[in-house]
Amino acid sequence: MSETHDPIMETDFIKEMLRQVRALDNYGTYDGWSVERILAPYIVTKEQRRQIPVIGDPDEETLSRVKAFYNGIAVLIEKECGQIAVPMLNITHEGFGRALITVGKLVVMDRTVRDVHRYGYDSYSKMKDEADKYLSVALEIIGKYPEVAGL
> What is the pLDDT averaged over residues 121-135?
96
d(CA 110, CA 138): 10
> What is the pLDDT averaged over residues 72-77?
98
pLDDT band at 1 (very low <50, low <70, confident <90, very high): very low
In a domain, 110, yes or no: yes
CATH number at residue 126: 1.10.3100.20
In a domain, 96, yes or no: yes
pLDDT at 60: 92
Give tens-digit pLDDT for 77-104. Answer: 999 999 999 999 999 999 999 999 999 9
> What is the pLDDT averaged over residues 125-132?
96
pLDDT at 2: 39
In a domain, 117, yes or no: yes
In a domain, 2, yes or no: no
Give tens-digit pLDDT for 12-53. Answer: 999 999 999 999 999 999 999 999 999 999 999 999 999 988
In a domain, 83, yes or no: yes
pTM (predicted TM-score): 0.91
> Does the pLDDT value for residue 128 go beyond 80?
yes
d(CA 83, CA 151): 10
In a domain, 1, yes or no: no
User: Residue 57 belongs to what domain range?
Assistant: 8-149
In a domain, 3, yes or no: no
Domain count across the chain: 1
Mean pLDDT value across the chain: 93
Find residue 141's DSSP bridge partners: none
